[in-house]
Structure 1
Amino acid sequence: MQLKKLFCLFITIIIVASYSFSAFGLPGSSAEKAPDIDAASAILTEPLRGQTLYSKNPSQRLHVSSASKIMTAIIVIERAKLDAKIAISKESVDVTGSMLNLEAGEKFTVEDLLYAVLLTPANDAANALAEFAGGDADKFVSMMNSKAKELNMENTLFKNVTGLFDKDQYTTAQDISLLMSHALKNPEFSRIFSSKGKVFNSGVLVNHNKLFWEYEGVDGGKAGYNDKNKQSAITTAKKGNQRFLCIILDSPENSVWSDSSKIFDYAFDNFKTDVLVEKGQKLHSITISDTPLNLVSQEEVLYTYPIGESNIRDVEFHLNNDLRLPLLKTQSVGTAKYILEDETIINISLYPQEDTGESKKTVSYIWGKLTEHKDLLYLVVILIIIEFLLIIKSLVGFIKRRTSLKEKREDT
């Protein structure tokens, strides 16, 4: 009987433990299992900081037509005015693959052609943009490779602007995530990338990324392929305060959208975006000239982490050299460096919690207070102007009285 009770207790402990591990998403639980996808390569990131949350062969070199179009678009956006007019040349329409059938001599704005390139695989539009921004296609390709180097895309080489197959052209999921993290910080790129459709030349361009209509929360996308059985989808999705970037490369035609959906489900089910540091939170303390100082963050900082884990590996504090009083609370004195388990680094500027030392007696302190409270600054400026006008009025009155007195003396 005693043995039976012990056996029942043992079974109960196993069941409770299994439930607990599953509920909190600890390693080995079914909730933590990475999705099984058909794509040759994939990556899931938090695009603001570039945190990698999942990957499959992220450094495998592949030919990805969409990478050329995205690089073309961001370079043009950074160099040209969107309302500038482009006259379509004969050379730009002399291209194979997917086209909008633009005609030589037609004129379009840069913005219209950018919509064409990001929503559809419009090779003629890509050529026209490259000619406009780079002088010719070859010069523009050099600009693409220079930009890739600038963004540390170490496994990328562009050979054309259209993304047409070239055996020497390659990139990786990891490199595309670097490109997208950069591009998504540009509001003009994000606006176009988030469009489902666009009226164009008496027709309508429809975004080829089907996830806009198949997955809740999708707010940006680009899709394309050279081989129908090796398709790619680059997509962003947002729910609440969480936004993820999913890159699927070389997935079969019947799997590219389901692969993307599986990755997004995994992201929203297993990761949380929350406050790392609150605005005004004390992060560190130091002493300068026997004066203690609390150092705080002046902004709220968010980060993404696996549910059930803090994901913070270490925190380092780096202070500016030769710190001395007085110090204003608007003066950065160093950095708190948060190192996450996935190697992501988040740098947070440190500020004194309050003005310290002789700063309260200085002109800089007064100016700091005025700029901190703009309504007070405006009031002081108005009072100074009024005082200045009163001085002028008094001076004019004094001059008039002197002149009048002098005239009276001359009359007598």
Structure 2
Amino acid sequence: MKKMSFLLSVVMILTLALSPVTAYGQTTYTPDFEVRAEAVYMKNLDTGQVIYEKNPDQRMYPASLTKIMTAIVTLENVEDLDGETAYLKLYLQDMIYGTGSSTGGFYLNDEASIRDILYATLLQSAGECALMLADYVGDGSVDHFVDMMNDKAAELGCTGTHFANPHGLFDENNYTTARDMAIISEYAMSIPEFAEIVGTYTHPVQLLNRDATLNELSTNSMLSPSSQYYYAPVYGIKTGTLPESGRCLSTIAKYNGYTYLLILLGVPETEADGSATDPAIYSFYEAKRLFQWAFNNFSVRTAVEKGEQLLEIDVKYSFQTDFMMLETDRQFTTLMPNDLDLSSIQYIPDVPDYLEAPITKGTQVGELSMVLAGEEIGRVPLITTQNVSASQILTFFGWLDNAIHSYWLKFLIVFTVLLVGLYTLLLIRLNNLKKRKGKYSSYREKRNRDHYL
């Protein structure tokens, strides 16, 4: 039995390029071999970086990867996994009978704890057990449980996913994407009980209605030391297979301090010419190659140290200094190719043209952007490195200079000139009217005198 404990934390989502392929605003890497899966999503869980993706938003049939969401909804709605039980009802047996679904060996009225039913669902990929969980949590309604699955997918931010059943058997309305399945899988692994179950290769299930024990085996042969597909770094999560979907796999591998989540959808079971693949379960072979490529070619490296002084900026209104060095406020590390020359990183500051005294040491005044292959890989704050006092005289002249070049001062001057000009024109106009009025009055007086004479 293989059990591990994972702490899944997302520090930031960053992207770099080994062979750059830009998609959805991110730069991912490209393996040096052909990847046969139709859709792939591979993420480093230590940094949150997506290092490889292929058709990540293409709708695909998830097959039994559906049971990951079945387990999530069950775990979030059952308080006592050991004390609460469920049994295989007749209508549930009728729903699964003749479908070709993998089973856990349950017969009509067989009863077990919810925990054991979860083991059978996730390890053996038991279709009847997925229905038992749906009936129990859905209060006797599988359809209601499916609605809960879709509500949870929407809550997690899955935009290309819709579930039509809890077991993953083919239905045109049961679909997902590699990106969404990565979201679902990462969330599931944050639930301790889920991580415990999927990291197990074999588990005994004790039936409560009869004296029988069912030995449930994981369909993920990468967990079995006796299998040709065994790969020690692998931990869980779930396999799925349908003629309509090909082989599907959600799994995690941890090696040498690095943890990767990998989603494979639509892995073919035959070569392009129709011949059988070698090995027979190509999804395991594909997963191992991708994990080894990631472990062998990438590591977390430091792009900038804390306290690096990379930029000089002008200082105004102080006799103490005319400039100041800015330094990085923290270290920045990210996942990069091992053979990448760090000198290829561009450091682009985003700071004002100058600083005005007084200045306090340690004040953030901007950021330093790091760009690789045309893509920003991160930013760190830039802070001041010393205290700078202000000169009252220089501050006054600076204020005066600013006032002289101020837009509002210019506006006020223009407005004042226009107002004075209008006032002057008005005075001239009034003066002319008075003169005309005086001439007219003199003329009337003279005419009146002549009339009386």
Quickly name the TM-score band, shorter chain normalised. 0.5 to 0.7
Superposition TM-score, scaled by structure 2 size: 0.57
1:55-94 matches, cutoff 5 A = 55-81=53-79, 82-90=81-89, 91-94=91-94
User: CA offsets, 1:11-70, max 9 Å, x none?
Assistant: xxxxxxxxxxxxxx9659xx9644312222222111355421112222221111233100
Question: Which runs of no fewer than 5 residues in structure 2 stay unpaired?
Answer: 1-16, 21-28, 207-212, 225-229, 270-279, 310-326, 351-366, 384-453
* Partners of 2:146 and 2:163 within 8 A in 1: yes
**Aligned residue identity for 1:220:** G
* Partners of 2:104 and 2:214 within 8 A in 1: no
Superposition TM-score, scaled by structure 1 size: 0.62
**Aligned residue identity for 2:82:** D
Q: CA deviation at 1:88?
A: 0.8
Separation in 2 of the partners of 1:308 and 1:126?
47
Separation in 1 of the partners of 2:237 and 2:64?
11
Q: CA deviation at 1:84?
A: 3.2
1:106 is aligned, of 110, 129, 132, to 110
Q: CA deviation at 1:244?
A: 0.8
Residue number in structure 2 paired with 1:156: 161
Select the structure that is richer in helix: 1
**Aligned residue identity for 1:117:** T
* Partners of 1:234 and 1:247 within 8 A in 2: yes
Question: CA RMSD, aligned part only?
Answer: 4.3
Separation in 2 of the partners of 1:230 and 1:187?
30
Pick which of 91-100 and 268-277 moved more: 268-277
Q: CA deviation at 1:93?
A: 2.9
Q: CA deviation at 1:181?
A: 1.9
* Partners of 2:65 and 2:249 within 8 A in 1: no
Bigger radius of gyration: 2
Q: Does residue 307 of structure 1 match 2:316?
A: no
Residue number in structure 2 paired with 1:326: none
* Cα pair distance change 1:231/1:242, threshold 3 Å: same
Residue number in structure 1 paired with 2:238: 222
* Cα pair distance change 1:271/1:86, threshold 3 Å: same
* Partners of 2:43 and 2:49 within 8 A in 1: yes
Q: Does residue 269 of structure 1 match 2:291?
A: no
Residue number in structure 2 paired with 1:185: 190
Residue number in structure 2 paired with 1:242: 258
User: CA offsets, 1:187-226, max 9 Å, x none?
Assistant: 2221112111111232321111122242231122311212
Q: CA deviation at 1:101?
A: 3.5
Separation in 2 of the partners of 1:181 and 1:314?
33
**Aligned residue identity for 2:76:** E
Separation in 2 of the partners of 1:167 and 1:177?
21
Residue number in structure 2 paired with 1:402: none
User: CA offsets, 1:319-362, max 9 Å, x none?
Assistant: xxxxxxxxxxxxxxxx99999989899899x9x9xxxxxxxxxx
Q: CA deviation at 1:174?
A: 1.1
Residue number in structure 1 paired with 2:217: 206
1:352-367 matches, cutoff 5 A = none
**Aligned residue identity for 1:198:** H
2:201 is aligned, of 196, 207, 212, to 196
Q: Does residue 147 of structure 1 match 2:152?
A: yes
Pick which of 308-317 and 160-169 moved more: 308-317
* Partners of 2:39 and 2:55 within 8 A in 1: yes
User: CA offsets, 1:61-80, max 9 Å, x none?
Assistant: 11112331001111212222
Percent same amino acid at aligned positions? 30
Question: Which runs of no fewer than 5 residues in structure 1 stay unpaired?
Answer: 1-24, 285-293, 318-334, 353-412
* Cα pair distance change 1:86/1:33, threshold 3 Å: closer
Pick which of 198-207 and 121-130 moved more: 198-207
* Cα pair distance change 1:256/1:188, threshold 3 Å: same
Separation in 2 of the partners of 1:194 and 1:342?
40
**Aligned residue identity for 1:222:** K
**Aligned residue identity for 2:288:** S
Separation in 2 of the partners of 1:170 and 1:94?
24
1:238-387 matches, cutoff 5 A = 238-253=254-269, 254=280, 255-273=282-300, 303-309=334-340
- Aligned residue pairs total 309
2:125 is aligned, of 121, 127, 130, to 121
**Aligned residue identity for 1:64:** P
* Partners of 1:272 and 1:307 within 8 A in 2: yes
Q: Describe the SS at the equivalent of 2:95.
A: coil
* Cα pair distance change 1:221/1:295, threshold 3 Å: same
Separation in 2 of the partners of 1:148 and 1:343?
31
